[in-house]
Amino acid sequence: MKVFPTAYMPSMEYLVCCKAADQILIEQEETYPKQTLRNRCYVATSQGVQPLIVPVSKPNGNNTKTKEIKILDTSFKKHHLKTLKSVYKSSAFYDYYYDIVEDIIMFQTESLIEYNFHALKTFFKLLNISTSMDFNNKFEQEPESSDLRILLSKKNSYNSFQIIETYEKYSQVFEDKIGFVPNLSVLDLIFNAGPQSGTVINCIYENNFDSSLLGLFSFKS
């Protein structure tokens, strides 16, 4: 069982790694690190890659645990939905998935980790990922070279490949202007690939997770 960081609208790499595991634990006992994918994701616009950030507060300052992180205000929700409409309204499956995404974003809770957990459960269903998940109950140190809490949460992870090296291409709205951008938020995948999103995740998994990599991260074989 591997420990994953919580993630806002997780990246392709994150979800492929989830698929590779039988069970995952979401880290909630760590001291919350700033400027990671725990509260941000990335989408591709006509001007390049843009982050979508959830504003958060740390009740105990720099000693705040991830499970204690609060969403600072809810104004980001309308901003994110407006951005997604601007970016993806011409995508093949925008109309089909917008209501689902809107429900995810508008989910009501003050807790960042609960907010992300609710979204992740929905994406598992959409992508046919059967991995079970729960929260951990104590912090345990792991070797940095295989600590997914580090490897899967780096800022600007869309161009910093930590685990996945080969990505399955799918049509993107602004591909003709900025080229294909791998490892964006799952939102980019479902708006562009629709019902084939699960197949894309499967292909990335099959092309990257050989026996040596599965062993390194203690995933199922």
pLDDT, residue 219, reads 46
pTM, full prediction: 0.91
pLDDT, residue 140, reads 87
**Local mean pLDDT, 10-residue blocks, the chain (221 residues):** 92 92 94 94 95 97 97 97 98 98 98 98 97 94 74 66 82 96 96 98 87 50 39
At residue 166, what are phi and psi to the nearest 5 degrees?
-120, 120
Cα gap 155→142, rounded to integer Å: 20
Q: Which two tokens stand for residue 203?
A: 């292909």
pLDDT, residue 215, reads 53
At residue 187, what are phi and psi to the nearest 5 degrees?
-60, -40
pLDDT, residue 84, reads 98
Cα gap 13→7, rounded to integer Å: 11
Cα gap 26→115, rounded to integer Å: 12
Contacts with 173 (C-beta within 8 Å, 6 or more apart), sequence order: 44, 87, 88, 90, 91, 191, 192
pLDDT, residue 148, reads 82
